Each structure stands twice: as structure tokens, then as C-alpha cells.
Amino acid sequence: MRNRFLGAAALFLALTAVISFWPSKASAYSGPVAGMFEVTGMFSFSKSDYGDGNQEWTRRWTGSLGYHFTELSELEVSFQDVLARTIISGFEDTTFHDRIYSLDWVQSFTGREYPLQPYVKIGVGQLDRDATGSYAGGTSPPLVLDQYTVLAGVGLRVFLSKEFSLRAEASTYLTGGSINTYQKNYSSNFGVSVYF
């Protein structure tokens, strides 16, 4: 999984380099300007079926409201709701429900004259986790976890008009602010943004 995440990050950086130097004459696709608001909704779902009723699945949705200070810089208030279920007979039967509230800085790499806008984001937030279930040997995960978290991500906006874009994002939240936890909580989300 770690290699897949690093591979996606390397691909993103390569695409960013290409897009940043790709001239665009498509002013109809111009992105946000200073003073604009952005409302975003994103969703993802993944499932692995191991047979004999053994499976893992995760459902995640994200909502955010951002304010653009410049055409390249945005401050965003975000909420993520994540539900993860794991059933592996004889080893694990758990459900984790995470709610992440965050304040994020979003920095785009290309100006409004480009219809493709790669970006990075970093933020701080609160992780509220409820857990149920058990592991092999009868141990249980902590029932409640309320912890400071750091968010980091990379993404791409594809402008279809001046007021509407498609958005793809790979992000992680670092429980307790520890970089060592990035691979435990990462995902790819897809959604839309509206600008006004």
C-alpha cells in the first residue's frame, strides 16, 4: 500500500510539472479569483472481498467550504466522515467510524488561465473515532479516540466552466500528528466544486 501511495504521489508531481508549463488559451475555463468562495463535495468507496464472508470496506465522504485569498491560495474548512468495516473470520471483526474536522491551507500551482489546476493541501484538525468489535484473542480496539490530527493531500481541479470543476484528491490524516501514521488513513476522493 505504501508503494501505491508513493507511486500516486510521484505521478501527481510529474503531471504537475507537465501541466504547469502547458500553455492554455481556454479562458472560458478560468479558475477562482481572490474573494471567491468554493463549496466542494467528494466521495469514495472501496471494498476487498477475501472469500468465505471475509471482507474489508471503507466509505468516505467529504464536504468543505473554502475562501480564495488569491487565485492560487485558499483557506478551507472541511469535514470528513469515514466508516471502515473489517471482517476476517477468527482474526478481526471491527467497525471504525471517524469524523475529521479540519482547517486547511490549499495551494494551487497554476493560475486561472489553466483549465487544470494541481494543488497541495495541509491542515490541522480534530479526529473523533468510535470503534466496535474485537480482534483474535478477544481484545477490542479503543472504543473512543479523540485526537489532534494533521491533514495532507495532493489534488487536481479540472475546470468545466468558471463556476464549476471536477476535483480529485489523495489525502491522509496523521493521527496524533505523527508522520508514521500516514499509511493507516489515506484515500482517494472524487467530487465536484462550485465557485461563487
Average pLDDT over residues 114-142: 91
Which has more pLDDT, 111 or 184? 111
Average pLDDT over residues 31-38: 87
What cell was used for 13?
508531481
pLDDT digits (tens, 9 = 90+) for 56-107: 999 999 999 999 999 899 999 999 999 999 999 989 999 999 999 999 999 9
If one counts the domains in the chain, the total is 1
Average pLDDT over residues 30-56: 91
Alpha helices, H only, the chain: 2-20
**Interior angle at CA 118, CA 24 and CA 114, nearest 5:** 15
Which has more pLDDT, 30 or 25? 30
Alpha-carbon gap, residue 83 to 72, rounded angstroms? 32
Contacts of 17 (CB under 8 A, 6+ apart): none
Provide the residue type at 164 as one letter.
F
Residue 183 CA, distance from chain mean position? 13
* Domain extent for 63: 2-195
Alpha-carbon gap, residue 73 to 34, rounded angstroms? 8
Average pLDDT, the chain: 86
pLDDT-derived band at 179, boundaries 50, 70, 90? confident
What are the backbone dihedrals phi and psi of residue 43, each rounded to the nearest 5 degrees, phi first? -150, 150
pLDDT digits (tens, 9 = 90+) for 138-168: 888 888 888 999 999 999 999 988 889 999 9
Which has more pLDDT, 179 or 74? 74
Inter-CA distances, 142 with 56, 76, 83, 128, 187, Å: 19, 30, 16, 12, 23
Sign of CA dihedral 70, 73, 75, 78: positive
Which has more pLDDT, 19 or 102? 102
Alpha-carbon gap, residue 10 to 4, rounded angstroms? 10
Contact 78, 63 (CB under 8 A): yes
* pTM metric for this prediction: 0.79
pLDDT-derived band at 30, boundaries 50, 70, 90? low
Alpha-carbon gap, residue 107 to 76, rounded angstroms? 11
Q: Is it the case that residue 26 has pLDDT exceeding 50?
A: no
> Phi-psi region for residue 164, left (φ > 0), alpha (ψ -120 to 50) or beta?
beta
Give the CATH number of the domain where residue 135 resides.
2.40.160.20
